[in-house]
Structure 1
Amino acid sequence: MPTSRASLPAAIAVAFLVLFAGLAIRKWTGGAFAKYAGVALYASLIYTLVIAIAPRLSPWRAAAIALGFCWAIEFGQLSSIPASLARRSMLARLVLGTTFNVPDLFWYAVGIAPMAVADGGLRARALHRRN
């Protein structure tokens, strides 16, 4: 994960890879695996976007922001707004979802945690190389 604006292309590349993986899993698999893998990868994508926007955030702060965003989206599904928007736009459906699902709250954390750990490891490695 990037630690400066110079690494923005890397963050964007990772975001596209995560997005592609999520869409591929949803297309070529099914059932609970597809649903929860998609939820976890959505959260991974949000983490990557947070780092792309604010590369100097610590991994754990970025993880907290990404998780808060994902949870806000999920709790927003308790209203009728996301479902209404989803009926009009596939993009809204992909970004906002339609139905609140308690297990999604856990799977967001599952998607974010490995990204934050990898980000922290890459940053430590880069710092070690500089010293």
Structure 2
Amino acid sequence: MVIILLGIGLRAYASVLPHFVAEHFGDALWAAMIYFGVRALLVRMSVLQAFLISLGFCYAIECSQLYQADWVNRIRSTLLGGLILGRGFLYVDLVRYCEGAIGAYLIDRSLVQRIA
């Protein structure tokens, strides 16, 4: 929930945030949210497996943006469709997803090690 609130805040206050933050952090937060979603749904999965699945999911969504049929573009034009499916393929998004997933993985791994 914290990541979702950060993402909403990032969009709401993009005009007052540094350009770099407003431009790049949203995709990283999205990847971190996917990682923690995978961990919440598949609690017995290792942190490394969750990392690989979440990063693969993010990459699949990004690559799906290369497909530009009318029906999927109508879905993408809605707020929820745009947030989930994105709107256009960008190579830089793959880097942003890596950064977000790696950050979430490192946070999670450190928490798991503290508990164990």
**TM-score scaled by length of structure 1:** 0.79
| Equivalent residue for 1:83, pick from 73, 89, 92 | 73
Q: Which residue of 2 aligns with 1:102?
A: 91
Structure 1, unmatched stretches of 5+, are: 1-15
Q: Distance in 2 between matches of 1:71 and 1:32?
A: 22
Structure 1: which 4+ aligned runs deviate by more than 2 Å?
Answer: 30-33, 81-84
Unaligned runs of 5+ in 2: none
Normalized per residue, which structure has more helix? 1
* In 2: Cα distance, 1:29 partner to 1:35 partner: 8
For residues 26 and 52 of structure 1, the distance between their equivalents in structure 2, rounded to whole angstroms, comes to 25
Look up the match of 2:44: 56
Structure 1 residues 78 and 32: alpha-carbon distance in aligned structure 2, compared to 1, 3 A threshold: farther
The answer on whether the counterparts of 1:59 and 1:117 sit within 8 Å (CA) in structure 2 is: no
RMSD: 1.3
What are the superposed Cα offsets for residues 61-106 of structure 1, whole Å, 9 maximum, x if unpaired?
A: 101000000000000000114433122x211111101100000001
Which residue is 1:67 aligned to? Answer: 55
Residue identity (%): 32
Report deviation, 1:18: 0.1
Give the TM-score of the pair, scaled to structure 2: 0.89
Distance (whole Å) between structure 2 residues aligned to residue 90 and residue 22 of structure 1:
14
AA at the equivalent of 2:21: F
Following the alignment from structure 1 to structure 2, what is the Cα–Cα distance between the partners of residues 122 and 17?
16
